[in-house]
Structure 1
Amino acid sequence: MPEPGWVAHAIWWQIYPLGFVGAFPADPSPGPDEHRLRRVVDWLDHAVELGASGIALGPIFASRTHGYDTTDHFRIDPRLGDDADFDELVAQAHQRGLRVLLDGVFNHVGTDFAQYRDALDGGPDHPASAWFRRRGPQSRFDTFEGHGELIALNHASTEVVEYTTAVLRHWLARGADGWRLDAAYAVPDRFWAQVLPRVREEFADAWFVGEVIHGDYTTTVEAATFDSVTQYELWKAIWSSLNDGNFHELDWGLQRHNDFLDTFVPLTFVGNHDVTRIASQLSNPDHVEHALVILLTTGGTPSIYAGDESGYRGVKEERRGGDDAVRPRFDTLPEDSDVLRFHRYLIGLRRRHPWLHTATTTALKLTNTQYIYRSTAADGSLIVALNVDDAPLTVSLPELGTPAGTVLAGSGAPPQHEITETEVPPHGWLIIQPH
């Protein structure tokens, strides 16, 4: 099934609302009368100026803590506000031409989920017990990756299928444009294949992206009927190759990426709410530009994690509260900066070349520390030269099979027309339009 047509132009600005508006962690927690979800409206113009065409929201439904322990999928988290606040956010986003992507957790629920409380109180014979997976007959309810506060749903249950279908439809009817499906890798593909086609019968233009980390992305997309999945393989290859001076890893990742593009267009990123920020992940801060160049000159549906465009730093740690550093509160709109201008420029370049959405890459020159690739689709091509070496990189276009070209952007390089040869400085990069 082809993705909705609007996705070909989608560039997401992703936020984690509970942290973004200071609702979690917070002591005391804000109440619905504070309407904190509306604070996101104040940032929508920033998203537009950045060049984004949509906002990807983290969890906004009722939960006890971080949002991924949902207690009621039909209710806006009281720490964020209420239905009217959601409606206002969607209306304001759509007025600006911004799509809205929601984050749905249907692999597990929090311990205050109504059916779970009924199952606990009513015992194993209570009808609500069928909603949840057990480790064995009459044994304790299963959990998500050992987290006792996250109770695993039973995806073989007809009630869970119906409930999930109803939730997806409900918020699409209220104006959402699509869903990120959390922990989709832990849910049987056949469950999504039961749910999503039914939702599409009513909302054919909705987009569904599954959170998948490892495995056979293509098989998962086809079996689950997703439109896309999260491209963690490419995310890792980008920062790891830059840190290690090993562009062979990036080239291998891009070859894999080409294979995925034969079937679907992955959601691509260099940062999100679950990983160390790219400015902290990279050992050389000069290489943040390289990471963004790769993201925005290769095939995919790109996502920018809020704060990365201002050079935010933050390290994810494997401990309770270990996500807090990468999910901070945002109080003031960002000041102009080199990194912000750089994001705006490259996103603008991406939007001027929408064919990059499905572009595949071909290596033209490859060493550990110097890499030239061509991104190509039916409507155009670009040559990208990356250098993380201490020596300059000479780019001879005739040797690359192109008689001449124009330098569109580069490390300290003004645009140059009708060049046949140029040089990429140490730890620099260039984007060239071939003639």
Structure 2
Amino acid sequence: MQLAGILHRPESEDTAILADHQVLIRLQTAIDDVAQVELAYADMYLWQEGAPMHHVAMQKGLATQANQYWTLPVELPTNRAIYAFKLTDQAGQTIGYGDEGFFDDTAANWAVAGRYFHLPYLHVSDAELPPAWVKHTVWYQIFPERFANGDQTNDPADVQPWGQGPVKRDSFYGGDLRGIIDHLNDIAALGVNGLYLCPIFTSPSNHKYDTIDHFEIDPHFGTKKDFQELVDQAHARGMKVMLDAVFNHFGDQSPQWQDVIKNGQQSRFADWFHIHDWPVGRDAKTGELNYETFATGAAMPKVNTQNPAVQQYLIDVTKYWIEQYNIDAWRFDVADEVDHGFWRKLCGALRAVKPDVYLLGEAWHSSQALVSNGQFDAVMNYPLTQPILALFKHELTLKDYVGKTNLQLMQYRQPNQQVMFNAIDTHDTARLLTVLNNNVDQVKAALTLLMLLPGTPCLYYGTEVGLAGGPDPDNRRCMPWQPADQNLDMRAFVTKLVTWRQSQADFLADSQLSWQITADVLRLTRKTAGQTVSGTFNLGQAAVTVSDSQIVLANGLKDSVLAENGFVLTVD
């Protein structure tokens, strides 16, 4: 038995609280090494008074490139437990594993309470279960400056004709809140029920990630009255609204930073930023900045979120838009570069105002330290979604894709995994159509795979009509509104896919997941006791025959033959 491959960490993603009295226990072993795992558990106090120890076989779950995971949902009548694992390898040898490590499988060892992991008391409040509504949400991300120009009276002075390019970093096209309001019916018709808006607060740029005033709508986007109308109209259509907050840094035109520039060390905002020398600016000899920034951008000075005054200001900002305008969610930019202590204070304050608020952090890597434990419900799940692109570009074998995907699915507690933000392209990436070399069949298949994975999926505006675009700023092209400029077949497909996904939200949140690989065909199956849904994807160059089932959606399928880049979504 490969002992080095065995791992369980109590009070981590390996012990996910699902509800009162319910916990999901998980164990990692080396792949193809262990034949069976049995969980032994009991209330320690009752056990010591003579109550029996429970023994239940764990379920063999997902496997990564190196490890096998075993899971078991457990009902705890008293909300307390001690537990340990009995492992049996392929040769039939057994060993115990608990809080003190490994021990021989003898009755004397199993009788010692210290051998067991401890769950002293299961507090549902400690679980901070994400809001239930997120599991039923398909998001639609909008870059407001490029979505629609609904009010030409607030256009920037240097506005360009809509859609004429090429798009530059300093281009303005006049998109605004009124344009979004005007097209809410078009968005709703897709079946999506969540709007994620990139920043809308006062800023000199088109992207608004260099905020001047967090309490004001950028005048080129409209007014607070417009924003309230947008929220109300979205809610009337059953859509939630998520705003984007940039708290890692401010724009250099913010009044706080301008005060620092003017008054130097005497500024009351001098300790709001990370300044290493005075006067603030660039070193005359080296040209290096003497203050910290987002990346290397001099126009985005980094904020000191350990300063209590800064903390209160940012908490006030987020509470304001919830209390005054009834928004439903916040996405926090560059969340991984902000200290955890501040996030706990802010998230706690927002949940006190609106218990079912969805709090999402931006991170491009595995970020267990940001999720739960008083912080975010989820992060932007790029490590899960980006391998989809590599799969369809044939940069990953099917086996490696499955292993990498399963690894990401094991990074977080199950309730959080159900609400991870799954976007395959965003304002920060090249567009899906362009990454896949304008192969519409691959785009359809990739979107279908995305919708089958655990988490809350997101469409980037324009994907539904075949909008292309390379890396920033080309990925922020204007939304084409003329039918002649849209791929209407793609829109019809996306509508069917999203509508189906919405109808299966509960099933997709709770069902078991498994993979099957046959040559160049990948099959993802989601299953409960009463239903099985499968997505079959042909990633090879030759057509393949697939079995007949109740077809929900397909592309490239004719007479049970699946073409290259084709897929079929079935229900059994």
Using the alignment, how far apart are the partners of 2:434 and 2:536 within structure 1? 24
Question: Which position in structure 1 is the counterpart of 2:275?
Answer: 134
Using the alignment, how far apart are the partners of 1:338 and 1:384 within structure 2? 21
2:510 pairs with 1:361: no
Asked whether the equivalents of residues 422 and 457 of structure 2 are also in contact (C-alpha less than 8 Å), the reply is: yes
Asked whether the equivalents of residues 43 and 333 of structure 1 are also in contact (C-alpha less than 8 Å), the reply is: no
Question: Which position in structure 1 is the counterpart of 2:84?
Answer: none
Match of 1:409 among 544, 553, 565: 553
Asked whether the equivalents of residues 385 and 424 of structure 1 are also in contact (C-alpha less than 8 Å), the reply is: no
- Structure 2 counterpart of 1:267, one-letter code: F
TM-aligned CA deviation for residue 261 of structure 1: 5.5
Q: In structure 1, the residue corresponding to 2:565 is in which secondary structure?
A: coil
Question: Which position in structure 2 is the counterpart of 1:432?
Answer: 570
Asked whether the equivalents of residues 18 and 60 of structure 1 are also in contact (C-alpha less than 8 Å), the reply is: no
- Structure 2 counterpart of 1:177, one-letter code: D
Match of 1:12 among 129, 136, 139: 139
Using the alignment, how far apart are the partners of 1:148 and 1:379 within structure 2? 57
Match of 1:199 among 339, 346, 350: 350
TM-score by length of 2: 0.67
Asked whether the equivalents of residues 144 and 176 of structure 2 are also in contact (C-alpha less than 8 Å), the reply is: no
Question: Which position in structure 2 is the counterpart of 1:241?
Answer: 391
Q: In structure 1, the residue corresponding to 2:327 is in which secondary structure?
A: coil
Q: In structure 2, the residue corresponding to 1:75 is in which secondary structure?
A: strand
Give the RMSD, CA atoms, in angstroms: 2.5
Question: Which position in structure 2 is the counterpart of 1:401?
Answer: none
Question: Which position in structure 2 is the counterpart of 1:370?
Answer: 521
Asked whether the equivalents of residues 36 and 81 of structure 1 are also in contact (C-alpha less than 8 Å), the reply is: yes
What does 1:34-433 align with in structure 2 at a 5 Å threshold? 36-65=176-205, 66-135=207-276, 140-173=290-323, 174-214=325-365, 216-223=366-373, 225-244=375-394, 246-259=397-410, 260=412, 262-264=414-416, 265-283=419-437, 284-316=439-471, 322-323=472-473, 325-330=474-479, 332=481, 334=483, 337-354=488-505, 355-365=507-517, 367=519, 369-376=520-527, 380-395=531-546, 405-413=549-557, 422-433=560-571
Using the alignment, how far apart are the partners of 1:312 and 1:379 within structure 2? 39
Asked whether the equivalents of residues 191 and 224 of structure 1 are also in contact (C-alpha less than 8 Å), the reply is: no
User: Is the radius of gyration larger for structure 1 or structure 2?
Assistant: 2
Asked whether the equivalents of residues 556 and 564 of structure 2 are also in contact (C-alpha less than 8 Å), the reply is: no
TM-aligned CA deviation for residue 95 of structure 1: 1.3
- Structure 1 counterpart of 2:158, one-letter code: P
Point out where structure 1 has 5 or more consecutive residues left out of the alignment.
317-321, 397-403, 417-421
Q: In structure 1, the residue corresponding to 2:274 is in which secondary structure?
A: coil
- Structure 2 counterpart of 1:130, one-letter code: D
Q: In structure 2, the residue corresponding to 1:373 is in which secondary structure?
A: strand
Using the alignment, how far apart are the partners of 2:511 and 2:279 within structure 1? 52
Q: In structure 1, the residue corresponding to 2:564 is in which secondary structure?
A: coil
TM-score by length of 1: 0.87
Asked whether the equivalents of residues 61 and 75 of structure 1 are also in contact (C-alpha less than 8 Å), the reply is: yes
Q: In structure 2, the residue corresponding to 1:411 is in which secondary structure?
A: strand
Asked whether the equivalents of residues 300 and 358 of structure 1 are also in contact (C-alpha less than 8 Å), the reply is: no
Using the alignment, how far apart are the partners of 1:103 and 1:302 within structure 2? 17
TM-aligned CA deviation for residue 229 of structure 1: 0.6
Structure 1 range deviating more: 135-144 or 174-183: 135-144
Point out where structure 2 has 5 or more consecutive residues left out of the alignment.
1-127, 161-173, 281-289
Asked whether the equivalents of residues 462 and 480 of structure 2 are also in contact (C-alpha less than 8 Å), the reply is: no
- Structure 1 counterpart of 2:562, one-letter code: V
TM-aligned CA deviation for residue 427 of structure 1: 2.0
Using the alignment, how far apart are the partners of 1:182 and 1:136 within structure 2? 27
Q: In structure 1, the residue corresponding to 2:516 is in which secondary structure?
A: strand
Using the alignment, how far apart are the partners of 1:135 and 1:247 within structure 2? 49
**Identical amino acids, percent of aligned pairs:** 28
Pick 1 or 2: higher relative contact order, CA cutoff 8 A, min separation 6. Answer: 1
Using the alignment, how far apart are the partners of 2:510 and 2:155 within structure 1? 39
